[in-house]
């Protein structure tokens, strides 16, 4: 990079930005690719060194910031003062603002995490619950109709023994006996199917 006050080679960045006339008002050149190539060639290294310090050595972030800075320079080419010895101070100001904006966005947004923490979270396995229901339904189906009926009234419909007896039209003692033997038979049926309490 040329020192302040020195003259640059002809055909450099200034020639791309210079408009004919006494005021030498900068403007974007018709060949935008050439302009951005020259910006990179002249300022990429010093800009990257500066931005790396701003980003605490985060190279990927620094590359993103440097690229965005060059794009803004290209977009603002018509407003750049080419009479200055270097565009580096302008580029440094733009880069600093981009880093500040990035930090603000990062502080506002919750931190991004990968899938690893989610893999370790305990989750209810719906398949296990479904299989358990199927096994219990099969075990209930293996009971005699009288035993199944006594369990349905007392356990599934949450009725008292007296209410179940009244609903079924049988004595209370019979309901108690059927529930007792139905629960024993159900435990055996579940154990046969690999379900233990």
Q: What is the pLDDT of residue 20?
A: 40
Q: How confident is the prediction along the chain (197 residues), in pLDDT tens digits per residue?
A: 444 443 343 344 444 444 343 333 344 445 456 666 777 788 888 999 899 998 888 999 999 999 898 888 878 777 766 666 777 888 889 999 999 998 888 777 666 666 666 666 666 667 777 778 888 888 888 889 999 999 889 988 889 999 999 999 999 999 999 999 988 988 888 888 777 76
Domain parsing of the chain, residue ranges: 31-106+126-192
Distance CA 5, CA 83 (A): 10
How far from the centroid of its chain's Cα atoms is residue 132's Cα? 34
Write the Ramachandran bin of 76: left for phi over 0, alpha for psi from -120 to 50, otherwise beta.
alpha
Q: Is 103 helix (H, G, I), strand (E, B) or coil?
A: helix
Which fold is adopted by the domain 31-106+126-192? Arc Repressor Mutant, subunit A (1.10.10)
């Amino acid at each position: 990079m040329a020192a302040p006050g020195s003259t640059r080679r002809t055909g450099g960045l200034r020639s791309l930005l210079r408009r004919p006339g006494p005021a030498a008002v900068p403007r974007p050149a018709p060949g935008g690719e050439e302009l951005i190539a020259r910006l990179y060639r002249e300022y990429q290294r010093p800009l990257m060194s500066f931005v790396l310090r701003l980003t605490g050595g985060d190279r990927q972030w620094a590359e993103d910031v440097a690229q965005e800075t060059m794009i803004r320079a290209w977009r603002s080419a018509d407003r750049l003062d080419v009479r200055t010895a270097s565009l580096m101070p302008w580029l440094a100001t733009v880069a600093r603002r981009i880093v500040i904006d990035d930090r603000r966005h990062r502080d506002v947004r919750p931190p991004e995490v990968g899938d690893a923490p989610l893999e370790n979270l305990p989750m209810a396995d719906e398949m296990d619950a479904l299989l358990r229901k199927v096994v219990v339904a099969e075990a209930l189906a293996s009971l005699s109709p009288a035993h199944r009926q006594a369990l349905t009234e007392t356990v599934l419909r949450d009725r008292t023994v007296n209410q179940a007896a009244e609903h079924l039209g049988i004595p209370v003692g019979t309901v108690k006996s059927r529930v007792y033997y139905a629960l024993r038979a159900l435990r055996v049926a579940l154990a046969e199917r690999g379900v233990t309490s």
